[in-house]
Amino acid sequence: MRIRTKFVAILLAFSLLSPIPIKAEDVKIGSISASSACLIEAESERILYSKNAQKRLPMASTTKIMTAILGLESGISLDRVIKVPKEAVGVEGSSIYLREGEEITFEALLYGLLLSSANDASVAIAITVSDTVENFVSLMNKKAQELGLTNTHFSNPHGLYDKEHYTTAQDLSRLMSYCVKNDLFVSISGCYKRIVQAGEDLTRVMINHNRLLNSYDGIIAGKTGFTNASGRCLVTCAERDGLRLIAVTLNAPNDWSDHASLFDFGFANYKRVNFDEISLKIPVISGKTSNFCAKTNDFSLFLPKNTEEICVEINAPRFVFAPIEVGEEVGEVIYSIDGKIIAKVPLLACETVEKAKYRFNIFTWIIDFIKGIFK
């Protein structure tokens, strides 16, 4: 059985579809000041815009994105009290001015890392997770390999310049895509202000360096960075109507403007479309029941806003022989645009059908066969 049908995009009752499609060529990205830039859709990691996106450059404090996710994945409780090691005191650059022996929660260190961009907090986290900074750096590079960041290498957990400490805009976008799947990472890096009480004599007020949190609609996470060697670096994630985009700029004099331009382009031209499940009944031969239900799972696709027709083709057998196991793949649904396949979704059995137990009777079989012909 092959059923082929077309749906006009505006008739697909999905809230993400635009009633007046905008053609991509009608919207232009403004001048991007960055030496290197990349814009991707977070879920698919599809590149929407790139400028020298595979060029290796220093990354400054955007390094702390990796430091943070390793801290969050370490299994260390957020309310665990950490005694600040001497190695974390007086680290060059941005700081929350940790004191040796001071007791502070692991959560407070993470906020200091992502909001205040504190280098001392990054060292404290590294030692807490891996006992030494060197061990933690090895963990950073191992994670980079696991994520396929082939043009990235870490030498420290904070981002101070080192010739062997580099990344690319494309690698950083992929790292951020991974990190925003972690709700705690999004919650912390998207927080504007955090007040932490450190004992009776010290209150730390941490303000997020990411100015876009209060100036661009939809920003949910990000990390800033700057050194004289790297220039201004910025990684941000914005979400509107279920569509998440990630922008990265390295060595960008006008990074706030760059990111606004990149997101304006992405949200004007792309959408995420949700597709409900498709279900149908398929006849069964030699089963305890005469048919069974098969269905797809609901899912979503990332598409250009000017998409007008989505072709849906259901490929399923005329019948199947029992037994059938629940979850068994029995066919597929193919989604295409202008003849180009954009997704294949399996049809799965919703129920188990056991094989019927009966004695074979040639006369009954012939009668059933003839009945089947006339049906």
230 is catalytic: no
Q: How far, in Å, CA of 179 to CA of 320, rounded?
A: 44
Q: Are the C-beta atoms of 68 and 111 separated by less than 8 Å?
A: no
Q: Return the DSSP state at 321.
A: E
Q: How far, in Å, CA of 265 to CA of 48, rounded?
A: 9
Q: How far, in Å, CA of 98 to CA of 54, rounded?
A: 36
Catalytic residue among 36, 61, 130, 261: 61
**Residues whose CB is less than 8 angstroms from the CB of residue 368 and which lie 6 or more positions away in sequence, other chains included:** none
In three-state secondary structure terms, 283 is strand
Burial 92-131 (b: 16+ CB within 10 A, else e): ebbbbebbeebebbbbbbbbbbbbbbbbbbbbbbbbbbbe
Q: Which amino acid is at 300?
A: S
In three-state secondary structure terms, 34 is coil
Q: CA dihedral defined by 334, 337, 340, 344, rounded to 10 degrees?
A: -20
- How many other β-carbons are positioned within 10 Å of the β-carbon of residue 167? 28
Catalytic residue among 36, 51, 64, 130: 64
Q: CA dihedral defined by 210, 183, 60, 126, rounded to 10 degrees?
A: 130
SS3 assignment for 120-147: HHHHHHHHHHHCCHHHHHHHHHHHHHHC
**Residues whose CB is less than 8 angstroms from the CB of residue 4 and which lie 6 or more positions away in sequence, other chains included:** 311, 312, 313, 314
**Cα–Cα separations (whole angstroms), residue 94 to 106, 281, 320:** 18, 63, 66
61 is catalytic: yes
Token pair of 22, please? 């905008």
Catalytic residue among 94, 116, 117, 122: 117
35 is catalytic: no
Catalytic residues: 61, 64, 117
